[in-house]
């Protein structure tokens, strides 16, 4: 019966999340909102099917571990340092302001300062998932505003990790004075020891383990290895150092992210994270009591106002100090007006420690639902608000005058250097597989001033190519992240040089989505596969059977002393028979020429 309850909870939670997430997606809202609503549907406060809350919480715990592992895996110190002048003070200032305002609300409702501070901390952290989605859909993810916002969120995430570590030491027992200082000091000492051991030993052991898993060429073993590392370090952090699983998972992600296996780990192991993360949001939604909307409308109103009004205003004031363009300032401030996954994690830990009660948790969930739903719609006001405020405000930085951020970091000089270097930029072609075909094509492209980027699943080959100065990526080309990392979005051509690669059609479809104008050359083992590759979006599909038939025909005719004209006619006839209705390489070369314009000479 217990197993049946497990299956019902898993199937019911994921099924409801699928339906609700799809509905919210079609409405142009974040799927996270749908997952929260799914939790409400399968929760104890609505009629019909009720999932097992205890089991949902266990799934959610795995979701937290994998979420934090993903944050650590994608955390790059260099990206944070690039925008540190505004991201670090901005994140710290906004977190302090939101925490103080939240604490005031908590005290006003009789919770006390401890509960109020935890409440404010939970409201200070924006959702990385929502922020990234909003910026990506608006085309602002790779702009300066996007870089600042992502760096801002990284600092908030790091701050949250520290808070999660300190909360048990501060709130688990009634301590004060020297006892509090001792508890915090002991917690920080444990963290320091754990971080040191993780990086000292992890930098030696984890790459070795991943290298052995990669050499098996088994996708299942590699994925299993990554998950075992994430869960093992997370659980070990609790058992050995008495710190949160969140910190352990974050550190595990950072160690893996520093290796050459980080891209493959993100593309192959983290899809499981998404499934468990969905169950995390479902479990949070199960805790929300709808009647709370009628019982405490004032508390919900103040909470929503803090998240959606006070936080953006504080963020606007901070970013405006750096005299950045008005649109950048508005973009960064408006996108922070929401809360998400880390807010729920903080609220859950606070409730487990007995610091906050059901009212605080329900207010946080209600504010999350409202802000997640509204934030994508509010962000669409960036351009109208920029035009409106631009009439009343002076430009943040006149032409030719660097902003405070640029003056501090030398960004203006960097932009000029980047512009100068872009004049000498070469065309790029992505080659999947570095066998004999890939090696020949890479050499020919390089000789013709087209930069080859190799995608390869042999880690030794990748290391050798990178050591020789050739751009090479270790990863599965059938994953979107791998193609994005290889630069398919602005490449002139994609060449799939392996006929035995799994997922060739999916690779072609993804490449066509990322870059509709890219020329795609694909290779298959059999003629019957050519049509499938063409339907997937390949411009040219070479078949091993067909090319061997042509080569043997030509060789046979030469042996029979046929004339060059006879050989050409027979070769054309056989090619027509073999590739009837299919584009030939000659047709593509003549018609598209790798889509290089006449006025753009790759040399």
Q: What is the pLDDT of residues 38-49, one digit of tens each?
A: 988 998 888 888
Mean pLDDT calculated for residue range 486-511? 85
- Residues 433-469 have pLDDT tens digits of 888 888 888 888 888 888 899 998 888 888 889 888 8
Q: Please give the C-alpha separations between residue 195 and each of 215, 226, 534, in angstroms, as whole numbers.
A: 28, 19, 51
Question: Which of 124-128, 349-353, 419-423 shows the lowest per-residue confidence on average (mean pLDDT)?
Answer: 419-423
pLDDT in tens, 219-250: 788 888 888 888 888 888 778 877 667 677 87
* Fold designation for 53-386: Na+/H+ antiporter like fold (1.20.1530)
Best CA proximity match to 198, nearest among 260, 250, 261, 269: 250
Q: Supply the pLDDT for residue 445.
A: 87
116 against 584, higher pLDDT? 116
Position 270 scores a pLDDT of: 64
Domain pair 53-386 / 428-595, same fold: no
Q: From CA 471, how far away is CA 485, in angstroms rounded?
A: 11
User: How far apart, in whole angstroms, are the C-alpha atoms of residue 98 and residue 93?
Assistant: 9
Confidence of residue 577 (pLDDT cuts 50, 70, 90): low
Ranges of H-type helices in 501-594: 504-514, 530-536, 544-559, 564-578, 585-592
Which tokens is 356 given?
């906050």
- pLDDT per position as a tens digit, 271-327: 777 777 788 788 878 878 888 888 889 999 999 999 999 999 999 999 988 888 888
* Pick from 191-195, 518-522, 524-528: least confident: 524-528
For 478-488, what is the mean pLDDT? 85
Predicted confidence (pLDDT) per residue in 415-428, tens digit: 433 433 333 445 88
**Other Cβ atoms within 10 Å of 195 Cβ, number:** 16
What residue ranges do the domains of the chain occupy? 53-386, 394-421, 428-595
Tell me the CATH number for domain 428-595.
Answer: 3.40.50.720
107 vs 147 pLDDT, higher one? 107
């Amino acid at each position: 019966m217990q197993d049946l309850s497990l299956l019902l909870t898993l199937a019911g939670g994921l099924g409801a999340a699928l339906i609700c997430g799809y509905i919210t997606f079609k409405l142009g809202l974040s799927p996270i909102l749908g997952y929260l609503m799914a939790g409400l549907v399968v929760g104890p406060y609505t009629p019909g099917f009720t999932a097992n809350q205890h089991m949902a919480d266990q799934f959610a715990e795995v979701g937290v571990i994998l979420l934090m592992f993903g944050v650590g895996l994608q955390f790059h110190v260099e990206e944070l340092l690039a925008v540190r002048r505004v991201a670090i003070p901005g994140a710290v200032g906004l977190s302090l302001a939101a925490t103080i305002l939240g604490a005031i609300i908590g005290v006003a409702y009789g919770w006390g300062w401890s509960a109020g501070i935890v409440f404010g901390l939970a409201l200070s952290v924006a959702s990385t998932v929502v922020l990234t989605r909003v910026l990506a859909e608006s085309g602002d993810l790779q702009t300066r505003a996007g870089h600042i916002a992502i760096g801002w969120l990284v600092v908030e995430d790091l701050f949250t990790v520290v808070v999660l570590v300190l909360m048990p030491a501060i709130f688990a027992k009634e301590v004060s004075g020297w006892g509090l200082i001792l508890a915090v000091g002991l917690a920080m000492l444990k963290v320091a020891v754990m971080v040191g051991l993780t990086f000292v030993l992890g930098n030696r052991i984890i790459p070795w383990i991943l290298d052995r898993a990669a050499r098996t060429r088994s996708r299942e073993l590699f994925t299993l290895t990554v998950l075992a590392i994430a869960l093992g370090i997370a659980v070990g952090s609790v058992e050995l150092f008495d710190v949160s699983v969140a910190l352990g998972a974050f550190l595990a992600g950072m160690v893996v992210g520093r290796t050459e296996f980080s891209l493959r780990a993100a593309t192959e192991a983290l899809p499981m994270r998404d499934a468990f993360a969905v169950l995390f949001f479902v479990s949070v939604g199960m805790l929300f009591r709808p009647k709370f909307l009628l019982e405490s409308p004032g508390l919900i109103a103040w909470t929503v106002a803090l998240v959606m009004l006070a936080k953006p205003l504080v963020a606007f004031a901070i970013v405006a100090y750096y005299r950045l363009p008005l649109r950048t300032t508005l973009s960064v401030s408006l996108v922070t007006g929401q809360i998400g996954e880390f807010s729920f994690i903080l609220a859950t830990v606070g409730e487990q420690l007995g610091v906050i009660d059901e009212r605080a948790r329900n207010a946080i969930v209600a504010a999350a639902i409202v802000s997640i739903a509204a934030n994508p719609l509010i962000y669409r006001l960036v351009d109208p608000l920029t035009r409106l405020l631009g009439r009343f405000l002076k430009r943040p930085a006149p032409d030719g005058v660097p902003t405070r951020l640029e003056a501090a970091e030398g960004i203006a000089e960097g932009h000029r250097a980047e512009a100068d270097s872009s004049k000498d930029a070469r065309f790029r072609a992505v080659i999947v597989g570095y066998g004999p075909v890939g090696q020949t094509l890479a050499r020919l492209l390089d000789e013709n001033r087209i930069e080859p980027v190799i995608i390869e699943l042999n880690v030794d080959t990748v290391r050798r190519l990178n050591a020789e100065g050739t751009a090479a990526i270790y990863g599965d080309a059938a994953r979107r992240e791998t193609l994005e990392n290889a630069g398919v979005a602005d490449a002139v051509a994609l060449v799939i040089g392996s006929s035995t690669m799994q997922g060739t059609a999916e690779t072609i479809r993804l490449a066509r989505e990322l870059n509709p104008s890219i020329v795609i050359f694909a290779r298959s083992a059999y003629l019957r596969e050519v049509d499938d590759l063409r339907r997937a979006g390949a411009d040219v599909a070479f078949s091993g059977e067909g090319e061997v038939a042509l080569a043997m025909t030509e060789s046979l005719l030469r042996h029979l002393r046929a004339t060059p004209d006879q050989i050409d006619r027979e070769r054309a006839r056989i090619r027509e028979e073999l590739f009837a209705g299919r584009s030939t390489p000659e047709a593509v070369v003549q018609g598209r020429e790798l889509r290089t314009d006449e006025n753009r000479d790759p040399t």
